[in-house]
Structure 1
Amino acid sequence: MPSTPTVTGRFAPSPSGPLHAGSLIAAIGSYLSARSQGGRWLLRLEDVDEGRVRPGAADTILRQLEALALDWDGPVQTQSSRKAVYREALVALQAQSMVYPCACTRQEIRDFGEHYPGTCRSGLAPGRQTRSWRLRVPDHLPPWEDRFHGWQPSPAPQYDPVLLRADGYFAYILACVVDDGEHGVSEVIRGGDLLALTAVQRYLQSTLNLPHPQYGHLPLLCDADGRKLSKSADSPAWTGSPSQAWEETLRLLGWTTPAGLHGASALEWRDWACTRMAVEQPLYGTAPLACTSRQR
């Protein structure tokens, strides 16, 4: 009989700063999902936007994951070393007329209300020069099924996202899709802020003849004012104890944690959670994608 394909998950933080408390939800959630199925868990540093990389952040992230006993398979992947691969994917899309050059500046796009209206879709205006390359997205995309939230309806007409920016950096959406496809990622467990991007990512996968991973979106951790914790907002780095991080993260995912594990090592928490999930515990239910919790 043919063997069952190995589940491959991944965690892909940006080294624009250390992990904050909200990052741990995606890290622990994606790890538990892959490991409880006997699968691989890859670590990728999404440093394709080199202008946002902070010195020392990558090493800090690795140390934070090690403190949580989150071990990864294979070498740590980096996007900054894969520009030629992304260029090759862009050339393939250009050959199919799936992308088009855009001359619009950031200020012009802000004047549009941040939603690009397709100004350059039919060609550049006389005298305008190419600044970026955009993906030509159809007005309607097919629905898709989220692992935790069920079928997501066909979204409203989409903007055409930039794949190659005016500053020469490849955009997250292209690099992420190419990397997931090349590395055999079969499931993507991540924060709910990326739910709206998934339909376009799936479309880009189709244009590049790449398989669709299973997607599952987890709740966001917000500050006391209801704002999502993020590195771009300089949310404080996670500095608490690994035991507390495991306990609080699992509770945010809807788990009931045993009193006997309070204060246990990260390794004990990890092994208990993997075993329980493999036997009976769903990773996450259907609670709202946003939640509020005070950082400690």
Structure 2
Amino acid sequence: MTYKGRFAPSPSGPLHFGSLIAALGSYFQAKSQLGQWLVRIEDLDPPREMPGCAKLILKTLEEYHLEWDGDILYQSKRHDIYQEKIDSWLNSGQAYYCECTRKQIKAQGGFYKGICRDKKLTNSQGCAVRLHTPEPVYQFNDIKHGELTINPALAKEDFIIKRRDGLFAYNLAVVLDDLEQGITEVVRGADLIEPTGRQISLYKLLKKTPVSYLHLPLALGNDGQKLSKQNHAKGIQNDNKKVLLIDAMKFLGFHIEPDMYNARMDEIISWGVKNWSISMLPKSTGSIPLFSNRSL
């Protein structure tokens, strides 16, 4: 089976250094196995999107010579697919409407306890849609880290597949999209370890074989916060692309010789593909400090 990996950024901000690490990790893993590397724009949340950001992200990938295979998939064009699956589960009783608010769930200990599962609510206004999960996933195997355990209380929750505001939930969309694109392995940041159990449970419900997973450690900024759009990480700058590329590769465990700084960007990427190895990745499943402040 041909290897298919993907990079799936959200257009809520430009690519930052942490995004570059994830893009490079997924690209090197795919290309080192002579596989395909696809790009998906996860534009599920219009209120959080930045106008023109999707084009900016794609332009940045091109500037770093990260060339994707095939067409770009946009989640905003797949709403009918998501809704069709939700409707089928609502009709079968596998999914149900839930009127519980975050405040109510927090008052009950922070985890949803299935309160609306048997209410048989029919009015969707102001309700989320939850999926009753008959087979919770408490552990899964990560290619680098081996067996990882998920919080049992979180694993057995009936989780949301459509939000109260009418937007589709990430866990549903990402699984349906990975199936649509034929993804065989997902390489992404360790901040997405917890949702992995829910995604595997969706594969089981759909009677499909789950993808393999490889989680990369997250980069910490000078303030001790992980580099993310939520924490307002700065977008990567165009005036020091080569330095940022090499710093990101160092973070992933590459040993970079001094003469590499004289190579062209495309030559550095090609060298990275040839010399990539999962064994050199940091062992951490959490966040680790950057090696150089200039990466910020």
- 1:28 to 1:126, Cα distance in 2 relative to 1, 3 A: closer
Q: Which residue of 1 aligns with 2:281?
A: 284
Q: Which residue of 2 aligns with 1:90?
A: 86
Q: Which residue of 1 aligns with 2:38?
A: 42
Superposition map of 1:64-213 within 5 A: 64-112=60-108, 114-123=110-119, 131-138=127-134, 140-153=136-149, 155-158=151-154, 159-213=157-211
- 1:170 to 1:128, Cα distance in 2 relative to 1, 3 A: closer
Deviates more, 1:11-20 or 1:280-289: 280-289
Cα distance in 1 between the residues matched to 2:159 and 2:176: 15
Equivalent of 1:9 in 5, 8, 22: 5
Q: Which residue of 1 aligns with 2:241?
A: 242
- 1:223 to 1:212, Cα distance in 2 relative to 1, 3 A: same
Gaps of 5+ in 1: none
Residue 275 in 1 paired to residue 271 in 2? no
Q: Which residue of 1 aligns with 2:21?
A: 25
Residues 7-48 of structure 1: CA distance to partner in whole angstroms, max 9, x if unpaired?
Answer: 000000000010111111110000000011010000000001
Q: Which residue of 1 aligns with 2:258?
A: 259
Kept in 2, the 8 Å contact 1:69–1:270? The answer is yes
Larger relative helix fraction: 2
SS where residue 216 of structure 1 aligns? Answer: strand
Which TM-score applies when normalising by structure 2? 0.90
Deviates more, 1:142-151 or 1:13-22: 142-151
Kept in 2, the 8 Å contact 1:165–1:171? The answer is yes
Cα distance in 2 between the residues matched to 1:117 and 1:254: 42
SS where residue 115 of structure 2 aligns? Answer: coil
Residues 57-98 of structure 1: CA distance to partner in whole angstroms, max 9, x if unpaired?
Answer: 111101110111000011111000000111122123234432
Deviation at 1:268, TM superposition (A): 1.0
Cα distance in 2 between the residues matched to 1:171 and 1:184: 20
Cα distance in 2 between the residues matched to 1:113 and 1:229: 29
Deviates more, 1:79-88 or 1:140-149: 140-149
AA aligned to 1:253 is L
AA aligned to 2:64 is L
Cα RMSD between the aligned structures?
2.3
- 1:126 to 1:85, Cα distance in 2 relative to 1, 3 A: closer
Deviation at 1:284, TM superposition (A): 2.0
Equivalenced residue count is 290
- 1:130 to 1:57, Cα distance in 2 relative to 1, 3 A: closer
Kept in 1, the 8 Å contact 2:97–2:121? The answer is no
SS where residue 178 of structure 1 aligns? Answer: helix
Q: Which residue of 2 aligns with 1:214?
A: 212
Cα distance in 1 between the residues matched to 2:195 and 2:263: 38
- Identity over aligned residues, as a percent? 37
Kept in 2, the 8 Å contact 1:102–1:133? The answer is yes
Cα distance in 1 between the residues matched to 2:234 and 2:122: 48
Kept in 2, the 8 Å contact 1:102–1:132? The answer is yes
Kept in 2, the 8 Å contact 1:261–1:269? The answer is yes
- 1:287 to 1:105, Cα distance in 2 relative to 1, 3 A: closer
Gaps of 5+ in 2: none
AA aligned to 1:172 is Y
Kept in 2, the 8 Å contact 1:9–1:30? The answer is yes
- 1:269 to 1:126, Cα distance in 2 relative to 1, 3 A: closer
AA aligned to 2:263 is A
AA aligned to 1:268 is E
Equivalent of 1:226 in 216, 224, 238: 224
- 1:69 to 1:124, Cα distance in 2 relative to 1, 3 A: same
Deviation at 1:134, TM superposition (A): 0.7
AA aligned to 1:184 is G
Kept in 2, the 8 Å contact 1:141–1:199? The answer is yes
Deviation at 1:114, TM superposition (A): 4.3
